[in-house]
Amino acid sequence: MARKNRNPVGKNVDPEAQKKKTRTLTLKSSDGQEFSISESAAVLSIAIENMVEDDCAGGVIPLPLVDGGTLARVITYLNKHAEDGASDEEKRKFDEEFVSGMEMGVLFDVVLAANYLDIRGLLREVRRRIADRMKNKSVEWVRKTFHIESDFTPEEEEQMKKEFAWAWEGVDSDVDD
């Protein structure tokens, strides 16, 4: 519930921004857990910002597609990025550490949540991390890790075989040797 803010406001600070910092919202996960978060952090999510602007945020914001564990992680991210005085370098380092320890299942949840909540920075970070994990890995490894089964038709398989082939130039050697 948004609380009225009577705190003195710095001279050069936008009063609206200051209000957002002290107003808190409550986010409710799919499994019924509630989390408090400052409005300034919450609105880093474009989806939440829209809900706040449309004023459908009266009280608790339900997020039926995000479970509690994932929401807690996302909130950690939002809080860091809304933190006063956190330098870009600090945030970059935080992002790096934030995603580095995540196992695949967690990355999956977080990427879906970031997509649903429209948190661009987080989405970019997690997407990159998922791609990084796939780099230089065999197709088999990716399937195993991501629990995916091949569902290609024999024709597609044949087509892919062609894509993966290295066709050598004739055995002719280079010029005059």
Partner 1 sequence: MGGNSRIGIPWSDLPRELVERIADCLDTETDVLRFRAVCSSWRSSTTPFKKFPSTPLKLPFPFQAGGTSRVKHKGAYFSLAERTVYGVQLPESKEPSFWLVKIERSGDGKLRILNTVSDSQIKILPETQLPKLLNTLDFRIYEVCKAYTLRYTNPAKPKQNYEYKCVKKVVVSGDVKNDKYVIMAIDDVNKLWYIKSGDEKWTMVRDNCGSNNFLDVVNYKGQFYGIDVWGGTWVFDPMFNSTKITYNICRPASKRHLVDLYKGELFLVEEVTDKDKRVCTCYNFDDGCQCRFPRTPVRNTAVEITISRIDKGREEWVEEKTVDNQIIFIDRYICFRTEEKKAHYHDNDNYGYDDTWDYGYNYFECDCGVSSDDDAGTVDNFVPSDDVKLKFRGLHGHNTGVCDFATGKIGSLLMYPEYADIFWPPPSWLSSS
Interaction of residue 174 with partner 1, rule CB under 8 A:
yes
| Cβ atoms of 123 and 74 closer than 8 Å | no
Interaction of residue 89 with partner 1, rule CB under 8 A:
no
Going by the DSSP 8-state scheme, the letter that residue 79 receives in this structure is H
Residues 2-61 touching partner 1, rule: CB under 8 A, are none
* Shortest distance in whole angstroms from residue 21 CB to partner 1: 31
Question: Can you tell me the distance from the alpha carbon of 94 to that of 52, in angstroms, rounded to the nearest whole number?
Answer: 27
Question: Can you tell me the distance from the alpha carbon of 127 to that of 56, in angstroms, rounded to the nearest whole number?
Answer: 30
Exactly one of 4, 6, 11, 135 binds partner 1 (CB under 8 A); that residue is 135
Phi and psi angles of residue 28, each rounded to the nearest 5 degrees, phi first = -120, 125
Interaction of residue 80 with partner 1, rule CB under 8 A:
no
* Shortest distance in whole angstroms from residue 155 CB to partner 1: 11
CB neighbours of 46 closer than 8 A, spacing ≥ 6? 117, 118, 119, 120
Interaction of residue 171 with partner 1, rule CB under 8 A:
yes
| Cβ atoms of 27 and 37 closer than 8 Å | yes
Exactly one of 111, 117, 119, 122 binds partner 1 (CB under 8 A); that residue is 111
Rule CB under 8 A: which residues touch partner 1? 67, 69, 103-109, 111-112, 115, 123, 127-128, 130-139, 141-143, 146-152, 156, 160-161, 163-171, 173-175, 177
